[in-house]
Amino acid sequence: MFAEYTASELTSIFAMQGFAGLILFSVFVLMALGLAIIFGQMGVINMAHGEFMILGAYITYLTSNLFSEYAQNLFSGYFFVAMLLAFMVTFALGALVEWAMIRHLYKRPLDTLLATWGLSLILQQLYRTVFGPREVGVTLPDWLMGSYPLTDMIEIPINGIFVMCITLVISVGVYFWMFKSRWGGQVRAVVQNREMAGAVGINTEKVDRITFALGCGIAGVAGSAFTMVGSTGPTSGQLYIVDTFLVVVFGGASSLLGTIASAFTISQAQSTMEFFLSGSMAKVLTLLVVVGILMLRPQGLFSLKIRK
Amino acid sequence: MTATSMGKDFVLSVEGLTVSFDGFKAVNDLSFYVDENEIRVIIGPNGAGKTTVLDLICGRTRATEGSIKFRGKELTKLKEHQIVHAGVGRKFQNPSIYEDLTVFENLEISFPRGRNVFGALMFKRDKEVIDKVHEIAELIFLKDDLNKQAALLSHGQKQWLEIGMLLIQDPELLMLDEPVAGMSVAERKLTAELLNKITKDRSVIVIEHDMQFVADIANRVTVLHQGKVLSEGSMDKVQNDPKVKEVYLGH
Amino acid sequence: MSYGLRSFLPKNDMINILLLAVLIMVIFPLSMDIFRLNLVGKYLSYAFVALGLVLCWGYGGILSLGQGVFFGLGGYCMAMFLKLEASSPENTAIQSTPGIPDFMDWNQLTALPWFWEPFHSLSFTMIAIIAVPVIFAFIVSVAMFKRRVGGVYFAIITQAIAAILTILIIGQQGYTGGVNGITDLRTLKGWDIRTDEAKYILYFVCCALLIGSILVAQFVRKSKLGRLLVAMRDKEDRVRFSGYDVSNFKIFIFCLAAAFSALGGAMFTLQVGFMSPSFVGIVPSIEMVIFCAVGGRLSLLGAVYGTLLVNWAKTVFSESFPELWLFGLGALFIGVVLAFPNGLAGVYSTYVEPMLAKWLKSLKSARPPMPSSTADSRS
Amino acid sequence: MLSKTLSSKLKKTALALSASLLLTPTITQAEVNTTGLAVTDDSVTVGILHSVTGTMAISETGSVQAEKLAIEQINAMGGVLGRQIKIIQEDGASDWPTFAEKSKKLLVNDKVAAVFGCWTSASRKAALPVFEQYNGMLYYPTFYEGLEQSPNVIYTGQEATQQILEGLDWASKTKGAKKFYLLGSDYIWPRTSNKIARKHIENVLKAKVVGEEYYPLGHTQFNSVINKIKLKKPDVVFISVVGGSNVAFYKQLKAAGIDMTKESPLFLTISVTEDEILGIGGENIEGIYASMKYFQSLPNDNNKAFVEAFKKKWGKDIVIGDVTQAAYLGPWLWKAAVEKAGSFDVDKVREASPGIELTTAPEGYVKVHKNHHLWSKTRIGVAMPDGQYKVVYESDDLIEPDPFPEGYQ
């Protein structure tokens, strides 16, 4: 299929395609990281994850409207404010949800799935009531649009770079928080032995609440970032849910590194297949391969062999 | 492994057994043999690998290396239920019973019949089953609680129920993980009595911390330390072994 | 303890099943016009799925978020037969290839695909309605349960399967009718299924099959297999060490649930007159779990009532307060899960039944109350 | 043959007429309604059936608003045959069986004289057997894939060829396009549309299709296909992506450094109306072309009055897309047919429908074809940053509807 193209064309296309894969990878990581923290560390399945993301997107939309109304001259910087706000609002909502709902369900993981599904219905309707049933258009500052031409053929989308940067910052942040901070140590202690952690003076309730809220907060930032590449509507969150869960499960639920590795594998597979096949078939094949591998290796890509 | 143990027909021969978790060898090149009708007690400090040994024998954990032969049959390749069918029964450290079911149903489920899907569908609660359940219930001091939901039993009663669930399978090798843990003194006494009754026609492996209890029931004692056999022999011999003293008293 | 009918159908259960039968087969038909009754018939076809979920989720602890797949497969098998009958060469004379379904003609298919051929036969179709979903369920469940995939993983993988199947059906429109589904189904062996009379008959067939399925489920529940499922949900390891191959039981119950769902799908197609991918995907699958949860995941009859109630509420509320409906459904769901994990049936057995018993007792102080063996003490 | 059926029908009507004469005192009522429709001496009831809830509510709201506006205007003008139109509105809830159920309710229980409704093909396909069984009349507003011609439906939107052929011809003639890339969401409308487009491109325009691609509904990652477009360098990308995917596609297109206003390649869509642009953002889609029959910016007087009335009733910020206008035509076309037939009877309205003309349509002049679709013009508009299209081309003549196009299947 490449006979009619020159070598330089092919090189640049493969470079671009690799870059497209990287963007998809960043998107997957952003989507999945919050869920991986909640699912992997707490065993809670948050079906409303997509709705938390969309909340972040709506916050971004509101912020952009506010800035264009009252602070036009600061508009180019609004996106950072929006992401911060998105994080804070979804973090707060997450804490509230944990307090009202999740904490009663820790011993029934499958039930968290059902209850959060109910939550997702409520949030969807809430968005519809408040923002209307239509998708809203989020205006981006000019510097985030367009691309940077590397060569004649290769154009690097600036918002793609931006998404990758956010992903990197958040991943590194989560890494330090989980593995280097005192707080992360407490979280891991609670995961491993709740009673013991409680006995040595860790406030397990607080750890749970903040872990859950943090997962939601990351979802909010992800949603905020996705206004650059996706749609913002009451039901947009539903679009992400299958992909997100598969990334987390495929990575091996308890391992954040696994989530990243799995996001990388799936995104590269999908973007490669999309290039050679039609989009729909690529999607089906990717999902089939992932499900197939999960059947052969249910523990996912990365998992610790632990002593029962 | 002593010279005399070679070439004899053991009920259970464990040879060169090793299992490692991410490089940590919980059981390391372990060998021991259990005789017909022998009561073997395994003791050792925490983390010595006692429970892991039982897990390995009953198939809950897969061995990295080594062999476990039960009446000449290699167990390491079998699945859990096949090992049970071969005649090995195992009691867990925490009483593992079905809390949602009654005592009767707990025992009935353990009755060795109708173990495949179709058999379970067509299983009939006939006289043979009922008689056997009553017989075992009598033995484990629960004959008045048959219709009680298992969740409502006391801790000691739960331990007995689990022992009963094993007895109804009539295993040739019975493995008990801390059968008297958490029991009152009175319950302990009854349990020792019970064990004496039920160990008549089978080989038994017991893990226990209570030294008095061990002395009461054991034929032979194996001391594990860091996944290896530290000492083996009669209670007296083991108690006077300087290596054992060092491990137990040294820290 | 005498065995036989009494043990599998204690008097209490028998009365309750009879009550349900009277409700759906006598009271509903007498009190509703055919339009409403046809709606109830549609709801009842979802109840098959909820029934299967009681067995595999409530009893087996296996939560499947892909029951729509089996509902859809059963429904599609039925629809393929009906579509072929509706696409006789006479009816489709204006097509470029007469005798094949209209959507195939539009997609330039010039011959019937091989896998459609056997669906000319009604007896094959009847077998396929059950066999195709069950074989599919068998393959999925063997792959998963033999490797001890369970709980959350199973739920998510079944969800992914539902997503895959939906994309496939929509994408392969030449073979499946695509997003529109298989529509305009008319006759079954020459019998017009669109008339009011036919709708009555189909409604009663649906009821009869549902009661039959409830009895089968009841038999399973009361057999030792039912107790084993409860035991497995509680202590899977212990069951293994009592000498059972746990995975086989899970496979069986999952396949049975799939068979129920498929039956419901086929009845759905017959009563509604078409089948489309919108009943295969994730959202309908989760909705069916909602029906089951609201009714009570441990109660066969509860699942049926839950299905009827949620759908009835959906119809009524979405007509009068479309804005509030999703709030209501979401809140109902959270409320049930948080406060009444055993659903309506749980509410009934913890609050209503003791009151009834007390009341009955005061009427005539005889007969001890029946022990309930299905109490779920998990906290 | 024709005259025979006609005369037998006349006879039947006469019989029915005389029968009702005996039974009912009001002659007028009986004359205009021999089949027991919900018609009284001063009112007639019609149904509106769209999704007000669920995922499709986004798209269908505009249609409901347009139909209500038209009915209000008709009532203000004195109604139909002297009768005020009453509306029974039902919610399809984005659920196809519900459409079938509610259709049946409207036809059987409420005995409405006509139904204005459905939006997706799936909902129409589900409801169609009901309309055929109970002999109802459905006015269906959406542009769709064609391949259907029911005596019980009047299709007020375009079937596929009306939208596609003229647009492709325009791209070929005025822009000299030689290479086309076809891209759509993966379902029946885009696939059928692209099938027709491919035949036309290859057989009539003698040009080349360099790619044809479909993505699942709701897909949000289009970087790979954008790369493919860059590699294949088509002159025209012909797009039928729908729903939330639209937003993602155009944003990613812009981010990938493709300036749509440069027309290299030229983007020609048949799926993005002014409604969709609201969600995409005008600045993200500036420069693409759309092939439709109606744009809100059409400069004729009919349209100016329509837009003004619409905004007055539903709010000044509202936008009006192609389908909304088509939905607006429904009640007017029905009124004209009823008045021509002198009766509300569905059979008579059906007979009267072909040939009905509407000179007051916002899109200009339309006429009902005997295949129940509309003759209408095709327009090409270019998207402006304010979210409106500027009309750059209009077909000279009305385009004949051809739901079963020969040589395109």
The pLDDT of residue D374: 96
CB atoms within 10 A of CB B126: 10
Model confidence pLDDT, tens digit, residues B62-76: 888 899 999 888 999
The residue segments making up the domain with residue B153 are 91-170
Reading phi first (left if > 0) and then psi (alpha if -120 to 50, else beta), residue C279 is in alpha
**Phi first, then psi: what are they for B179, rounded to 5°?**
-70, -20
- Asked if the model's pLDDT at residue B6 lies above 70, the reply is no
Please indicate, yes or no, if residue B164 is contained in any of the structural domains.
Answer: yes
Reading phi first (left if > 0) and then psi (alpha if -120 to 50, else beta), residue D294 is in beta
Model confidence pLDDT, tens digit, residues A244-258: 888 888 887 667 888
Domain residue extents for chain C: 5-363
The region of weakest confidence among A146-160, D16-30, D181-195 is: D16-30
> What is the interface size between A and B, counted as CB pairs within 8 Å?
10
Probe site for chain D from C94, C95, C97, C179 (most D CB atoms < 10 A): C179
- Asked if the model's pLDDT at residue C325 lies above 90, the reply is no
Model confidence pLDDT, tens digit, residues A38-79: 887 888 889 999 999 999 999 999 999 999 888 888 888 888
The amino acid sitting at C244 is: Y
Within the 97-116 window of chain D, which residues sit less than 8 Å (CB to CB) from chain C?
Answer: 97, 100-101, 104-105, 108-109
Q: Dihedral of CA D241/D244/D245/D250: which sign?
A: positive
Task: Identify the closest residue of chain C to D57 by CA–CA distance.
Answer: C322
Element (H, E) at C44: helix C34-53
- Asked if the model's pLDDT at residue D22 lies above 60, the reply is no
**Residue indicated by tokens 């509860």:** C302
**Confidence bin at D123 (pLDDT 50/70/90):** very high
The pLDDT of residue C201: 95
> What is the interface size between A and D, counted as CB pairs within 8 Å?
133
The pLDDT of residue A307: 37
**Residue indicated by tokens 């059968």:** B179
**CA-to-CA separations, D143 to C209, D196, D271, in angstroms, rounded:** 42, 15, 9
**Residue indicated by tokens 């008339």:** C195
CB contact under 8 A, C186 and D129: yes
The pLDDT of residue C374: 42
Model confidence pLDDT, tens digit, residues D156-167: 999 999 999 999
CB C160 within 8 A of CB A242: yes
> Chain C residues with CB inside 8 Å of B100's CB?
230-231, 233-234, 375-378
Q: Which segment, A221-230, B104-113, C44-53, is predicted with the most confidence on average?
A: C44-53
Model confidence pLDDT, tens digit, residues B208-239: 888 888 888 888 899 988 888 888 888 888 88
The pLDDT of residue C93: 82
CB contact under 8 A, D282 and A155: no
Model confidence pLDDT, tens digit, residues A162-220: 889 999 999 999 888 888 888 888 888 887 787 888 888 888 888 889 999 999 999 99
Residue B155 tokens, joined: 């801790």
CB contact under 8 A, C243 and B108: no
pLDDT, average across residues D184-189: 87
The pLDDT of residue B249: 62
pLDDT, average across residues D220-244: 89
High-pLDDT (> 90) share of chain B, %: 29
Q: Which of C156, C330, C332 sits opposite A245 (nearest CB)?
A: C156
The pLDDT of residue D394: 94
The pLDDT of residue D28: 63
pLDDT, average across residues C108-119: 91
Question: Looking at the complex, does the CB of residue A7 fall below 8 Å from at least one CB of chain C?
Answer: no
Q: Which of C181, C349, C209, C345 minimizes the C-alpha distance to C272?
A: C181
The pLDDT of residue C305: 94
High-pLDDT (> 70) share of chain C, %: 93
Please indicate, yes or no, if residue B202 is contained in any of the structural domains.
Answer: no
Residue D226 tokens, joined: 């954008």
Q: Which of C65, C69, C71, C72 minimizes the C-alpha distance to C286?
A: C65
- C131 versus C109: which is more confidently predicted? C131
CB contact under 8 A, B22 and A308: no
> Chain C residues with CB inside 8 Å of A98's CB?
none
Model confidence pLDDT, tens digit, residues D78-120: 999 999 999 999 988 888 888 998 999 999 989 999 999 999 9
Q: What is the set of domains in chain D, with CATH numbers?
A: 33-157+303-375 (3.40.50.2300), 160-292+378-394 (3.40.50.2300)
Question: Looking at the complex, does the CB of residue B125 fall below 8 Å from at least one CB of chain C?
Answer: yes
Q: What is the pTM of this model?
A: 0.87
**CA-to-CA separations, B174 to B90, C99, D72, D194, in angstroms, rounded:** 6, 70, 86, 72
Q: Which of A78, A93, A118 minimizes the C-alpha distance to A220?
A: A93
Arithmetic mean of pLDDT over chain B: 86
Do B and C count as touching (3 or more CB pairs closer than 8 A)?
Answer: yes
Length of chain C: 379
CB D143 within 8 A of CB D158: yes
- D6 versus A308: which is more confidently predicted? D6
> Chain A residues with CB inside 8 Å of B60's CB?
308
In this complex, the chains that touch B, judged by 3 or more CB pairs closer than 8 A, are A, C
Distance CA A219, CA A90 (A): 8
Distance CA B112, CA B121 (A): 14
Model confidence pLDDT, tens digit, residues C57-96: 999 889 999 999 999 999 999 999 999 999 988 888 878 8
D232 Cα to chain C: minimum distance (Å): 24
Distance CA C238, CA B95 (A): 10
**Residue indicated by tokens 């039920």:** B198
The pLDDT of residue A308: 34
Alpha helix positions (H), chain A = 7-36, 42, 49-70, 78-100, 109-131, 158-179, 182-192, 194-199, 204-226, 238-251, 256-276, 279-296
Q: Which of D185, D346, D382, D146 minimizes the C-alpha distance to D266?
A: D382
The region of weakest confidence among D15-24, D56-65, D137-146, D246-255 is: D15-24
- Asked if the model's pLDDT at residue C368 lies above 60, the reply is no
Task: Identify the closest residue of chain C to B110 by CA–CA distance.
Answer: C242
**Total structural domains in chain B?**
1
Please indicate, yes or no, if residue B222 is contained in any of the structural domains.
Answer: no
Arithmetic mean of pLDDT over chain C: 88
Distance CA C175, CA B48 (A): 63
The pLDDT of residue C43: 94
Q: Which of D104, D108, D125 sits opposite C183 (nearest CB)?
A: D125
Model confidence pLDDT, tens digit, residues D277-335: 988 888 889 999 999 999 999 999 999 999 999 999 999 989 999 999 999 999 999 99
3-state DSSP helix/strand/coil % of chain D, to nearest 5: 45, 20, 35
Domain residue extents for chain A: 13-240
**Confidence bin at D27 (pLDDT 50/70/90):** very low
pLDDT, average across residues D208-213: 93
